Amino acid sequence: MITPNIPMAGLSEEEVSQRVRDGLVNDLSTPPSRSLLAIVRANVLTLFNGIVVAGFSLLLFLGQWRDALFGLAAIGNALIGVVQEYRAKRSLDRLTIVHGAMARVVREGNVQEIPAHDVVLDDLLLLCAGDQVPADAHIVGPGSLEVDESLLTGESAPVTKHRGDVLLAGSLVFTGSCHTRVFRVGHETFANRLAADAKRFSLVSSEIRTGINRVLRVLAWVVLPVTLLVLNSQLLQQGGWEAALASGAWAQSAVSTVASTIAMIPLGLVLMTSVAFAVGAVRLAGQKVLVQELAAVEVLARVDVLCLDKTGTLTDGRMAFDAVHQLRGEVQDGWRQALAWFGANEPANATSLSIGDAFPLKVQLTPLSSVPFDSTRKWSSVTLPNLQGDSSTWILGAPEVVFAGESPDCRLARQRAGELVLSGVRTMGMSRSSQCTEATESALPGDCEPVLVLTLRESIRWDAPRTLAYFREQDVTIKILSGDDPRTVGLLARKLGLENPDAIDASKLTGDPAALQDLVDAHSVFGRVSPEQKRELVLALQRRGHTVAMTGDGVNDTLALKVADLGIAMDSAAPATKAVARIVLLDGRFSRLPAVVAEGRRVINNMERVSMLFLSKTAYALVISLLCGALLLPFPFLPRQLSAIDGLTIGLPAFFLALLPNRHDYTRGFLRRSLAFSIPAGVAIAVGITALNFYVQATGRFSVDQARSASSMALALIGSWILAVIARPLNLRKAAVIAAMYLGTVIVFTFPPLSGFFRLEWPPGDLFLATFVVAVASSTAVEIAGRLRRSPPPRPHGEGP
């Protein structure tokens, strides 16, 4: 390690102590994103949970524990919600950009190693190769550094820094050493400001969850008034409020009211949605895809714009040899040996590794002298013996340096290198001299002759072309948002076959939101994009109505990943990026994304069917409650009877439906299509059940238990037919599930332990006939509703590559 000889004493102990007292310390900790208490409160203290707990408690108070089974579903919903949000909270709380490494500071003239979080404002840092910059700092004094800022800015090429240049916290030093003065610490650093923006708590935008929440918001305004209407009608059935309270008959009215209220709330739908998401997450985990928020499984199935970072996402971070462009036709093959030596002996970096791959060293070469690469010189050299008995010195470095002479050959060489750079490749120049070079020299020999230009390109991930082709087949628009040079990004886009591959230089963009929306709609490739601009471009796409997924691996991607509908991180991503992302590709295979699309389609298409089951129940429960309240009819079910019917016609079938394979395309309108079937079907069921109870009252020959049993049987038969309608097209597995539900209905009514527990009995002759007629009529109406439901024809797709 070479320490620059700079007469700087750094801060005194008193100055350090004063800055610590003033809070000017490089505190890397960040406040938690959301407290556990707030998460519990949000998931437990809700209106519907309050209604469920009130009904549950009332039934227990009345000793009707058999009718309180619905409480288990409410507990399951609350637990799953808390666990999901707590997992997201923990990921955000672990978000960090600057690792808590050691830092070298100069204080009172002495070099000290201290933890990075003990660095204070104005500290004098000594940075050398291999260090991570602990705080934002300016370079002071002589010396230079070559740093990797790719995680922060997206620029994949190492950047050379000189006196006065800014170093960002989190950057990695490749080569060189120098002193720097800290000017921003802790939360004020660029890296930590990104972390603070990324840590704002949010949940992924799920159409399933949004649709269900919309239904629940409507029900919140309806349930309590309808509950009071039903309670009033049930008490009037018992002779009025005063008589019911005096005789104790109010208890049975309360049980019926609880039954009507709980039936209107689709408790199982929330639970089944979480189960479907969880199963999808487990399946994807087997394919090395980590789902950090369960609802993310669904989102990629709806994405119509996929935004990609370049470095680490489309490319694998390595440089690949492109071509050799000889500048002098008479040059002998000595340059091949020289390149092989550079590839084998230069410090391992992306450039030397790519040269070594292209020109492997086959015979051990003993140089007469060599000069290692230095970021200040920007060249390295080796002197090798020739077969003729003399020697040649080969100089490899930046073209503007190794071709710096004013001869016609040098001017043509610089021109050629500039033309190649415009095509988007990276260039290295090689010249030859007859003089030996020494490590102490900073100037090149005067007789350097240009020999060749070596071009390098970033190595494209092997699975990127196939995966992008798959998304184009799915009508998903591809956008590349990169912090790298626009020319480099444009070259990559052309190699990947993107439409309109000419890159826009984002550093020249204005902040006009309307202009930004037009630009991001019209163009597909953007270079020199800052972290804030990535976020604004994603937001501009969302304002145009697009569902946007963003992939990345750098800290510069965190803000965009955070606001995107779905953030996807690669396995090589920074810890901060992984914490913000909803999905992490654990093995870094870009080709995993089509499997996520397939799983998302399976979940959302199956959950659309499942939602029809649950929302049909909500619809018929609401209409039956309104009719009973308005017509002063007894509510036709006990809570336990509704629990049994729900289990047979909704709960168990929903579980099977949610897990079935389903690769059909998905079209927006999940809630609209669900309600288009559920409301007519629910109304048809409610009218049929109400007509059956009018018949019971008109004859006056049947008991309350017989009337409830007939209503329960009719509801079970119709519910099974709803299952048959929404499960189409039927196959052997689906037909078996439907047949099992019909068989289950017979068992519940005929098997004494079950029929006794649920207070069900087989209806007598003419009541059974009336029940059958109502079931057939309502099932016919359900069949018509299913055929009239507007739904795009399914078009199956494979899983892609």
Measured CA to CA, the distance from residue 230 to residue 634 in angstroms comes to 9
Query: Which residue type sits at 548?
Result: V
Residue with tokens 């199982």: 268
Give domain limits for the chain.
13-29+97-198, 266-279+599-788, 289-314+462-588, 316-460
pTM of the model: 0.69
Q: Taking CA 150 as the corner, what is the angle to CA 149 and CA 154, rounded to the nearest 5 degrees?
A: 120
Please give the C-alpha separations between residue 468 and each of 179, 308, 471, 481, 593, in angstroms, as whole numbers: 45, 10, 5, 15, 10
Measured CA to CA, the distance from residue 19 to residue 25 in angstroms comes to 7
For 99: left if phi > 0, alpha if psi spans -120 to 50, otherwise beta; the answer is beta
Q: Name the pairing type of β-strands 369-374 and 315-326.
A: unpaired
The pLDDT, as a whole number, for residue 394 is 92
Is 316-460 a domain of CATH 3.30.200.20?
A: no
Q: Taking residues 598-623, report their average pLDDT.
A: 88
255 and 59 in contact (C-beta within 8 Å)? yes
The pLDDT, as a whole number, for residue 69 is 65
Cα four-point dihedral sign 77, 80, 85, 89: positive
In the chain, % of residues over pLDDT 90: 17
What is the CATH T-level fold of the domain 13-29+97-198, as seen in this structure? 2.70.150
The pLDDT, as a whole number, for residue 153 is 63
Please give the C-alpha separations between residue 284 and each of 346, 600, 605, in angstroms, as whole numbers: 42, 10, 17
Q: What is the DSSP string of 510-560?
A: ---HHHHHHHHHH--EEES--HHHHHHHHHHHHHTT--EEEEE-SGGGHHH
Structure tokens at 206: 């799920």
- Whether residue 358 is predicted with pLDDT greater than 80 in this model: the reply is yes
Q: Taking CA 226 as the corner, what is the angle to CA 43 and CA 696, rounded to the nearest 5 degrees?
A: 125
DSSP-based three-state secondary structure for 400:
helix
pLDDT: is 65 or 721 the higher one?
Answer: 721
Confidence bin at 796 (pLDDT 50/70/90):
very low
Highest mean pLDDT among 254-268, 710-724, 780-794: 710-724
Measured CA to CA, the distance from residue 560 to residue 549 in angstroms comes to 9
The pLDDT, as a whole number, for residue 792 is 46
Measured CA to CA, the distance from residue 505 to residue 499 in angstroms comes to 17
User: In which element (H, E) is residue 704 found?
Assistant: helix 704-726
Mean pLDDT (the chain) is 81
Residue 248 burial by CB count (10 A; 0-12/13-18/19+): exposed, middle or buried?
exposed
The pLDDT, as a whole number, for residue 486 is 85
pLDDT tens-digit readout, 531-589: 888 989 999 999 998 999 999 887 778 888 888 999 898 877 766 677 778 888 888 88
Structure tokens at 37: 């208490």
Structure tokens at 547: 């569902």
Residue with tokens 């890159």: 503
Long-range contacts of 411-417 (CB under 8 A, 24+ apart): 412/327, 412/450, 413/327, 413/450, 413/453, 416/325, 416/327, 416/453, 417/453
- Whether residue 40 is predicted with pLDDT greater than 80 in this model: the reply is no
Confidence bin at 29 (pLDDT 50/70/90):
low
Contacts of 116 (CB under 8 A, 6+ apart): 26, 28, 98, 99, 100, 101, 102, 103, 132, 134, 135
Query: Which residue type sits at 436?
Result: C
List strands edge to edge, sheet with 449-460: 315-326, 449-460, 426-433, 391-397, 379-385, 369-374
Confidence bin at 157 (pLDDT 50/70/90):
low
Query: Which residue type sits at 156?
Result: S
504 and 521 in contact (C-beta within 8 Å)? no
Measured CA to CA, the distance from residue 540 to residue 512 in angstroms comes to 11
The pLDDT, as a whole number, for residue 800 is 42
Measured CA to CA, the distance from residue 235 to residue 255 in angstroms comes to 11
Task: Kindly give the interhelix angle for 513-522 and 531-543, rounded to the nearest 10 degrees.
Answer: 80
- Whether residue 711 is predicted with pLDDT greater than 80 in this model: the reply is yes
Query: Spelled out in words, what is the top-level CATH class assigned to the domain 289-314+462-588?
Result: alpha beta
What counts of helices (H) and strands (E) characterise the chain? 29, 22
DSSP-based three-state secondary structure for 16:
helix
In the chain, % of residues over pLDDT 70: 85
pLDDT tens-digit readout, 684-697: 999 999 999 999 98
Please give the C-alpha separations between residue 642 and each of 28, 77, 719, in angstroms, as whole numbers: 55, 19, 12
427 and 361 in contact (C-beta within 8 Å)? no
Residue with tokens 């940075």: 127
- Whether residue 770 is predicted with pLDDT greater than 90 in this model: the reply is yes
As its CATH architecture, domain 266-279+599-788 has Up-down Bundle (1.20)
pLDDT tens-digit readout, 421-441: 877 788 899 999 888 887 666
| Number of C-beta neighbours around residue 784 at 10 A | 14
The pLDDT, as a whole number, for residue 97 is 45
Confidence bin at 42 (pLDDT 50/70/90):
low
For 8: left if phi > 0, alpha if psi spans -120 to 50, otherwise beta; the answer is beta
Q: Taking residues 332-356, report their average pLDDT.
A: 81
pLDDT tens-digit readout, 588-604: 888 888 888 888 888 88
Q: Name the pairing type of β-strands 166-167 and 110-115.
A: unpaired
The pLDDT, as a whole number, for residue 154 is 54
Task: Kindly give the interhelix angle for 47-61 and 250-264, rounded to the nearest 10 degrees.
Answer: 150
For 533: left if phi > 0, alpha if psi spans -120 to 50, otherwise beta; the answer is alpha
356 and 343 in contact (C-beta within 8 Å)? yes
Q: Which sequence positions are flagged as catalytic?
A: 309
- Whether residue 355 is predicted with pLDDT greater than 70 in this model: the reply is yes
| Number of C-beta neighbours around residue 386 at 10 A | 11
609 and 738 in contact (C-beta within 8 Å)? no
pLDDT tens-digit readout, 196-247: 555 554 566 778 878 888 888 888 889 889 989 988 888 888 777 888 787 7
532 and 548 in contact (C-beta within 8 Å)? no
Q: What is the DSSP string of 224-242?
A: HHHHHHHHHHHHHHTT-HH
- Whether residue 125 is predicted with pLDDT greater than 50 in this model: the reply is yes
pLDDT tens-digit readout, 663-680: 777 777 888 888 999 999
Residue with tokens 């990535």: 534
Confidence bin at 28 (pLDDT 50/70/90):
low
Long-range contacts of 729-737 (CB under 8 A, 24+ apart): 733/656, 733/660, 734/660, 737/652, 737/653, 737/656
- Whether residue 331 is predicted with pLDDT greater than 70 in this model: the reply is no
User: Can you list the alpha helix ranges (DSSP code H) found in 547-638?
Assistant: 558-563, 575-580, 593-631
Spacing of C-alpha 205 from chain mean position: 10
The pLDDT, as a whole number, for residue 96 is 47
